[in-house]
Amino acid sequence: LPHISEREIPEVGEEDPSTHPTARPTFMERSKSEMKLKDNRRSCYMLDAVAAGGGFPGVLPRSLRKSSSCSTIYMDDSTISQPNLKNTIKCISLAIYYHIANRKNRAHERLMEIFEERLHPITREALPPELMTKDPDHRQIYRFVRTLFHSAQLTAECAIITLVYIERLLNYAEMDLCPSNWRRVVLGAIMLASKVWDDQAVWNVDYCQILRDTNVDDMNELERRFLECLDFNIEVPSSVYAKYYFDLRTLALANDLQLPLQPLYRERAKRLEVSDNILPSFMTLFLCVPSGEARNSQVLLDPSPFNPSLGLKYPLKTWDPREGRVLKGCQYIHGCFEPHRYVDESTSSSSV
């Protein structure tokens, strides 16, 4: 095998939605007809309600409608950095269902042996023939994915990466997702996504504890062949991740899977800000303090544990090139710089 640095990205890389941030995800194209049909049904329902003389359901006449004078913002509890796990699993299960139900090559399906459950079953009991030919229900897909995620304690971000890898596999390997291979394709994508995303990845032997009729050799071979089909391209740019996240929200809205909206009170806003601003302990940021005695100095931002009574506390160690010394201070970051003071680290050990 050639070295990973010598591998070439397949020609579909320019149009592949799993690598190109502007290309529309495949599951959105596959679900377009169903989403349009549901929009038409919803429009007909609202027109029938108006024709019956009752007006729009749940909407008061303009003269009786109350207006908010305080610009209330309504949000759900799902953010791009911390998506809601249950809702995300439902969305990717629906995306996988659209891949299977609206595949184009039903007469001549493009398959690969390693993903065929008829050749490599993940259950000991014999599968009924109709299960290998009949399209699964989206609830069946959801139960399978939910079992893996809850048993392995995976995160919602890992679910989005899983969908990216599934679509990348279908494009790179030029294969179809069908009733006989979707379980093994999803299993391989989850195994790979959990190792790429999570710091403490789930081992292949752990999946054998979840799917008790499988063995480690089969899991290792499935992972190896999955990587080969991807040409070992497991990178997911942040722009691609964001695109899939928002398209999944669009899919949820079209299928009435969105989370309930709640008023954004100050407490919820702080909680969302904290969840979005907590930095991993291994990250190091360099900032330039805009004012004070370290105007032109380089600031090393070292994240410390979160203090719920004070907010996000970041101790700063600043190298002042004019003084030739290290200055020490602290700053509480809430989207902007706040006043802080510095203590000469070489002469004082007191904390701020």
Express as a percent the part of the chain with pLDDT over 70. 62
Rounded distance between C-alpha atoms, residue 176 and residue 103, angstroms = 7
Range picked from 37-41, 56-60, 215-219, 279-283 for highest mean pLDDT: 215-219
Examine the domain organization and report whether 199 and 297 are in the same domain: no
Examine the domain organization and report whether 321 and 230 are in the same domain: no
More confident call, 207 vs 333: 207
Express as a percent the part of the chain with pLDDT over 90. 36
Tokens of 300: 């090393």
User: Residue 65: its pLDDT value, please?
Assistant: 58
Mean pLDDT of 233-241: 93
Least confident range from 3-7, 65-69, 114-118: namely 3-7
Q: Is residue 54 part of a domain?
A: no
Neighbouring residues of 238: CB distance < 8 A, sequence distance ≥ 6: none
Judged against a pLDDT cut of 80, whether residue 244 lies above it is answered with yes
Q: Which is nearest to 164 in space by CA: 192, 198, 140, 183?
A: 192
Rounded distance between C-alpha atoms, residue 183 and residue 188, angstroms = 9
Please report, as a single letter, which amino acid is at residue 100.
I
Examine the domain organization and report whether 241 and 309 are in the same domain: no
Examine the domain organization and report whether 243 and 301 are in the same domain: no
Examine the domain organization and report whether 216 and 102 are in the same domain: yes
Mean pLDDT of 234-239: 93
Handedness of CA 9, 14, 20, 23 (dihedral sign): negative
User: Assign residue 180 a region: left if phi > 0, alpha if psi is -120 to 50, beta otherwise?
Assistant: alpha
Judged against a pLDDT cut of 70, whether residue 239 lies above it is answered with yes
| Domain harbouring 177, CATH code | 1.10.472.10
Output the pTM of the full model: 0.67
Q: Model confidence at 70, in pLDDT bands (50, 70, 90)?
A: low
Examine the domain organization and report whether 177 and 322 are in the same domain: no
Examine the domain organization and report whether 152 and 186 are in the same domain: yes
More confident call, 120 vs 339: 120
Range of the domain at 98: 4-44+75-254
Range picked from 45-54, 105-114, 125-134, 202-211 for highest mean pLDDT: 202-211
Q: Is residue 103 part of a domain?
A: yes
Examine the domain organization and report whether 128 and 176 are in the same domain: yes
Judged against a pLDDT cut of 80, whether residue 3 lies above it is answered with no
Q: Which is nearest to 192 in space by CA: 153, 156, 151, 233?
A: 233
Q: Is residue 172 part of a domain?
A: yes
Number of domains in the chain: 2
User: Residue 35: its pLDDT value, please?
Assistant: 59
User: Residue 256: its pLDDT value, please?
Assistant: 85
Judged against a pLDDT cut of 80, whether residue 323 lies above it is answered with no
User: Residue 263: its pLDDT value, please?
Assistant: 77
What average pLDDT does the chain have? 72
Judged against a pLDDT cut of 90, whether residue 312 lies above it is answered with no
